[in-house]
Amino acid sequence: MTGFYYVYMLSDAATRTHHYVGMTEDLESRLEKHNAKQVPHTSKFAPWTIDAAIAVRNKTTAARLERYLKSGSGRAFANKHLFLLAFAQRS
C-alpha cells in the first residue's frame, strides 16, 4: 500500500527473544534489509520476522508511535500486548 508509514515490530526468528521497533514507507523492502544484515543494529540476530505493523498516513504520527514503542512504557506495552500475542499465534 502506498501513502502509508509503517511502524513495525520484529522478533528474531530463532528464539523470538530479541525485538526491534522501526518505521518505514516500504515494509517488505525494510524487512529484506534487516534479514540481509544491512541494518547494523539488527544484523547480529537475523533473520527477523514481523510480529506487528501499524499503517499510519501521517509521518509525524508514525514517528511519535515509534518513539513511544521504544520508550520504557512503550516496550512494556508491546511486550505484554503485541509480541506476546504474535508469539501465541505462531505456536
Q: Is the pTM of this model over 0.85?
A: yes
* Domains: count for the chain: 1
Domain holding 76, by residue range, is 5-90
Residue 35, pLDDT score = 98
- Distance, in Å, from the CA atom of 15 to the CA atom of 17, rounded to the nearest integer, reads 5
pLDDT tens column, 22-49: 999 999 999 999 999 999 999 999 999 9
What is the SS3 assignment for 58? coil
Length reported for the chain: 91
DSSP label at 3?
S
Residue 73: what residue type?
A: S
